[in-house]
Each structure stands twice: as structure tokens, then as C-alpha cells.
Amino acid sequence: MGGALLRVTAVWAVSTLTMLALAGILPDFRLQAADGDSATRIAITAASGAGAFGVLSALVWPLLVRALLLMPALVLGLLVFVLNGSMLLIALSVVPDGRGAVEPETAVVVAAVMSAASSATSTFLTVRDDGAYRRRLARLADRQRRLSGGDGGRARPPGTVFLQLDGVGHAVLRDALRPRDNRPPVMETVAAWVGGTHTVTPWRTDWSSQTGASQLGILHGSNEDVPAFRWYEKKSGEVMVSNRPTSAAVLQRRAAARAGHDGLLTVDGASRGNLFTGGADELALVLSVAARRSKRNRSRSGYFAYFSDPANATRTAASFVAEVCREICQSTRAKLRRESPRVGRGGLYPFIRAFATVVERDVVVAAVSGDILSGRTAIYADLVAYDEVAHHSGPRSRDAQQVLARLDRSIALIAKVAERAPRDYRIVLLSDHGQSPGATFAGAYGLTLEDLVRAGCGLPVPKAVGRTASGAEAREAARAALHRPEKDDTDQEEARPVVLASGNLGLISFPDVPGRMSREAIDRRHPALLHTLANHPGVGFLLVRSETEGAVVLGANGAEHHLDTHRVIKESPLALFGPGAAEAVRRTAHFRNTPDIMVNSAYDAATGEVHAFEEQIGSHGGLGGEQGHPFLLWPVQLSAPVAAGEELVGAERVHTVLRRWLREADGPEVPEVSVETDERASDDGVLSDGAQGLAQESRIPSPMAVPFPAADPVLPDKAR
């Protein structure tokens, strides 16, 4: 009791001093009567205002945030400051004799600074009071036991936390765990685990080495018919994009129909910061439900866990601004040093990076910590910070290394929370893919993939493209093959192909041709196109469908690999891409949504470099290098993912491993739902009403998670 009273007194004193200082600095903020007051009277006014503001923050603030959960994240984040300032105005209105007054715009600034100061003081004192820290966690555990009706003790089977470090390849992780030049490893926490409490191994992705395909397979057990991050579907005439809420919702329904269950997290699970729910009831920042606007959509409930303390918004806002400034400085330094390869990092990118590396990280870590303290059984969270920075700075850049160090601190924070949880927890780290470095295709060759395709089809291209060696060669080949001069043909323009990019994977579709266009039909329509693409130095291989040979891979100089018959002409274009490449491409070749032509960029085995068809110098999405080799790191108490000498291949296989680990911990088993895709699902793979009913009946309701506490000591100014 004495320690708690001391903390309250200290926070009140700091808030009072902060208010006095701001009143002396800001002209629109006063704490005295118009004709002046004594120093003692001003101090009493400040103490009264600070006390009233503190009471309002503790009692009213959580109710306001809960009422605004359906608002988008950025809107809620900005509204936090307005509401915080409004509470300060209310607090000053109760000061006797009207001595406190502040302009509304100034109130926002004063409230933000006071919240930050009081939170910093509370955190400083509580972190150093181990007894208070343990008592606080014990109270949280007792509250969860009352809500769930269980004993909540350590006798319960252990829970499992799956933390996905988006885009961190096995090789990058391995380097981050090694001491460097007498300095500690970049990821000290994880380095201490490996070789002791945890074991790590690489696994191999499918051909589509990107989050959409990998996380769908990991969480839902099926990533069939997901050929890339984005692709054109001829049946609907729409472009599917994995990180678009409507597309993510469709992909999740299709996966549930094929797998026969709702996902890995169906029973007592939480999904945080992911593209898909995994079948969880507790959701925060989950894209597949982001488009819903109903009380049943709790994806934004994670905001309450974080924004229930106004100081969190202030702290995150300060970190957000710092990250924007950091990115501007780092990109300016790269320009001045003329680093190569390099891509543009202006426009909105500094803000996008700051959102991914600060806001999303803080909210996800807070939500996971709340899940752990509430004793939830299975938690899966995605931390996207590294992937975002590595795309623009490079996977092994100094910028990306700094992000890895901050992620390590977040992992350490979660591990510390787990030590105080009402049950034991096993923490599993994994990634969904890696990243491969390299100059962009446009940067290396002066034209985009779309330019090359248009030139190979005899369609007009920009003059600058025509002056490049690749563009001129493609145009001449097309003109000779078509036996006509180049011109802007209206009919050709109407039938122009759709060209999309997914890292170093390109997808070409002819929307006016129903079904998948064959190699023979493409040659009849555009005689120079396949030859132009296959022989370009920036292209590694093409995948097409032959009317007689089935799936065929084309390479330079007439090389072919017939995947269905295993016939190879000259040398297989896939040989350079390592073992398993043919199997991965063959699987994708028979997807319903595979485009007419798939293009994988060239790969330099000596340097590990590829050429992204997007503006990225660290890319993933296809075959070649470290992008296809993420990692899986698990506690030694769990069984090995695969038998000795066997390779873990494919996101769907990772799903089966994670399910087995849940069973080994006596955790929930994913309920099976027998679904015949051709009878129980619609044409687009969505579960039929009957199948959805079975899936819902098989789910076990889970207790509501305890919101993460305001100003809790486990949420310091994280991961700087």
C-alpha cells in the first residue's frame, strides 16, 4: 500500500510540475486569475488541475476508447489527442474560481505532454518495484480466472505463442545471432535461446514466396490457387491482391473450404497483425475482417488494449515522428553516398515505414502481451517491420539491422510478460519467407516487364524504352514475326495483356481469352512474345501450358523442361534454382488461377541476386536465393518438425507441424470439418451454408481476453 501511495504521489507531483512549466511556456495556457496570483495559489491550481486530469484519464478514458473501436486505426490514433485535450479542458473547468484556462488547440499539446510525463514516471517507479510488478500481474491473472471460471494456475497445459518475423530469412537470422567484431549479436535475446532452450531450422516456401501464400497455408492449411501476391482472375475479371481486405476475405473462405476447418487458432486463439484470422475469435489488425463494419468484428479491439492509456498514443506518436525523421536521414545518406542499387524512398513511404515499424509493432506487442496475461491458449502474431524496411533499404542493410535489433527487444518484452502469465508459455518464432537482394528489373535494363511484354506483342512502347537494347530487339522481333510495320493498332490495344508483378515473379494474362491460353495459341497470336521473354538476360524462365505437353518451362536458347513428362530439352532452366524448384513450379502450374504466362526473373547463384519487377531492392515472391528459405525456431520440449535428414517444404506442411505442437502441449486441436470442395463449396471456393454451419458448430467459444492494462510496466518506450 505504501509503495502504491508513493507512486501516485510522485506521478501527481510530476504532472503538477509539468503543468506549471507548460503554463510558463505557452501563452494560451494560464493557471492564475486575470489580475495575478501568488506562487502558492498557482501551485494549488496546478495540483488541482493535474489531479482532476489524472482521475478523468483513469476513469473516463477507457470508456471513450471502447466506444470508438470501430473507427480505423489512423483516425482513432489522431482522435486520441483531441479527446485527451478535451479531458484537460474539463479538468481545468473544475479548478476553483476559474483560474485554469487554455485554448483548445493548446490543450491538445498540454494533455499529450502531461500524459507522457506521468506515464514515464509511473513506469520508472513500477519497473524498479518488483513486488508491485508481481502483485499487478497477479491481479490480472485473478481477473482472468474469474472471467473464464477456471483455476488459471500453472497446472494448466502450456499455451503457445507463434511470433512471425515477416521477411526474415534463415540466413539473415543466422547472421543476426552471431557476435560481430567483439560486439554482441544484433538479436541478443534470440541468440541466447538458440543452442539452449530453442532450436532453429530453415524451411522452403512454395514458388510464391510471399506472405499471402505462406501465411494462408500456415494459418489455414491450404494455399492452393494462390500463384502470387497479386494476380488476374479471368472468371471475375478482377485483380486479386493478398493485402486487400476484400481479397483476403475471399482467400480465407476458399482455404477453409479446401482444408475442411477454420484454421489453426479456431479454439481459444488470438490473431494479431495478420492477413488472415486463422479461425481465431480474438482479433486485432487482421486484414481479412478489416472491411467489416459490425459489432461482431473485433479486429479493432486491440486498439482498446493499447489506446486505453492516452500516454501510449503520445509515446507511439513520438516514436512515429522519430522513425519518419530516421528514414529521411537514412535515404538522404544513401543518395549522398550514391549507394547502388537504390530505389526512391520519398512521398508517403517514410510514413508507411513508420506505421509498420512503430504503430503496428506497438499495438501487436501490446495485444499479444494482453493475450498472454489473460492465459489464452494459442496466439499468432505478425511483426512486419523488417520486411517493409528491407524492401527499400536492402535485406542486409544497416537500416534493416537496426530494425532486427528493435524486434529482438519486442521479443524480449513478450518473453518477460510470459514469465508472469497465469500459465506456462512456449514461444515459437518463424518467418513466412526471406528476401533476396538485387537491382530492380527496370533499373538494370531500362524497361519494365510490361514494356518488354508490349514490345514482344508489337504494341506501342515509350520512346525511351525503344532506345534500350532490350526494347529495340523485342520490337524488331515482333515486327519481323508479324510481317508488318509497327503501328498503334486499336484492336491490339483493346486486347492488351494484363501484366502484374509480385517481387521477382511476373504474371501475364490475356483477359479477352477465356480460360488459360496455351503456348500454341500465344505463338499464333504473338509469335515473338515467348521468344523475347525467354531470351531476355533479366528473365530466368517462363511457365506456360502446352496443348500437347502440359506444363512447360521455357528458358534461353531453346531450353525447355516439360514438367508433366519430365522431358528436358538442352538443359533445364530450373537447374540453377536448386532442388525442389521443379516440384514447386509443377504444383503452381496446375492451379486454376495460374496466368497465361508466369515469368521468374534471372538469378545469380554467386551473389544471390534477383531482379524485382517492382521498385524493391530486397524482394520476394518467386524463386531464387534467400527469399525461399525462411526459418522455424521452436522450444526443445517440442518434437522436431521433420525427421532427421528431411527438409520441411511448403507452408501447408508448416501448418501440420504447428498443429502437432499444439497437441503436444495438450492444447486445442483444430476441429475437422469434412468438406467436399466440388459439392459443398461454391465455384469460387467459398464454403457453402451447410459447410459453414458445420464449421461454426465445431468451434469452442473462448473467454474474452483481458485488455492490456493502462500504463503497465511491461510497455516501456519499446524497441528504440
Give the CA angle between residues 454, 458, 462 to the nearest 5°: 55
- DSSP-assigned beta bridge partners for residue 599: 506, 542
Asked if residue 72 has pLDDT above 90, the reply is no
The percent of residues above 70 in pLDDT, for the chain, comes to: 66
Distance CA 194, CA 427 (A): 12
pLDDT of residue 641: 95
Identify the weakest region by mean pLDDT among 5-14, 201-210, 533-542, 599-608. 5-14
What integer pLDDT is reported at residue 66 of this predicted model?
A: 56
Say if residue 678's pLDDT is above 80.
no
> Which alpha helices (DSSP H) does 177-309 contain, by range?
188-193, 211-220, 245-259, 301-307
The pLDDT of residue 64 is 59
Number of CB atoms found within 10 A of residue 99's CB: 20
CA 505 – CA 503 distance, rounded (Å): 5
pLDDT grade for 709, boundaries at 50, 70 and 90: very low
Tell whether the torsion through CA atoms of 448, 454, 458 and 459 is positive or negative. Answer: negative
Q: Is the pLDDT of residue 688 over 50?
A: no
Predicted local distance difference test score (pLDDT) of residue 87: 62
Q: Collapsing DSSP states into helix, strand and coil, what is residue 621?
A: coil
- The pLDDT confidence band at residue 367, using thresholds 50, 70 and 90, is confident
Whether the pLDDT of residue 286 is over 80: the answer is yes
Residue 642 has pLDDT above 60, yes or no: yes
What pLDDT shows up at residue 714? 29
In this model, does residue 317 exceed pLDDT 90? no
Question: Does 604 have pLDDT greater than 50?
Answer: yes
Q: Spell out the domain ranges in the chain.
A: 1-128, 160-229+239-437+635-666, 441-466+491-616
CB neighbour class for 645 (10 Å; exposed up to 12, middle 13-18, buried from 19): exposed
Half-sphere exposure of 627 (CA within 13 A, CB side): 37
Predicted local distance difference test score (pLDDT) of residue 180: 84
- Note the pLDDT tens digit of each residue in 79-131: 555 565 566 666 666 565 555 666 665 666 666 666 666 655 555 554 444 44
How many C-alpha atoms does 175 have within 13 Å on its Cβ side? 12
Quickly state the pLDDT bin for 696 (edges 50, 70, 90).
very low
* CATH architecture designation of domain 160-229+239-437+635-666: 3-Layer(aba) Sandwich (3.40)
The larger pLDDT score, comparing residue 520 to residue 477, is at: 520
Distance CA(54)–CA(223), nearest Å, equals 50
Given pLDDT bands bounded at 50, 70 and 90, which one contains residue 710? Answer: very low
Mean pLDDT of the 544-548 span: 96
Neighbours of 487 (CB within 10 A): 11
Stretch (H or E) spanning 238: strand 238-241
pLDDT of residue 129: 47
* E strand or H helix at 632: strand 631-635
C-alpha dihedral sign at 311, 315, 321, 323: negative
Residues in the chain: 720
What integer is the mean pLDDT of 252-268? Answer: 94
Structure confidence at residue 693 as a pLDDT band (50, 70, 90):
very low
Q: 527 is written with which cell numbers?
A: 509469335
pLDDT at 530: 96
> Stretch 373-378: mean pLDDT, rounded?
89
Residue 692 has pLDDT above 50, yes or no: no
Q: What's the predicted TM-score (pTM) here? A: 0.75
Cell of 32: 492564475
For position 54, what pLDDT does the model report?
Answer: 67
Peptide bond into 485 cis (omega under 30): no
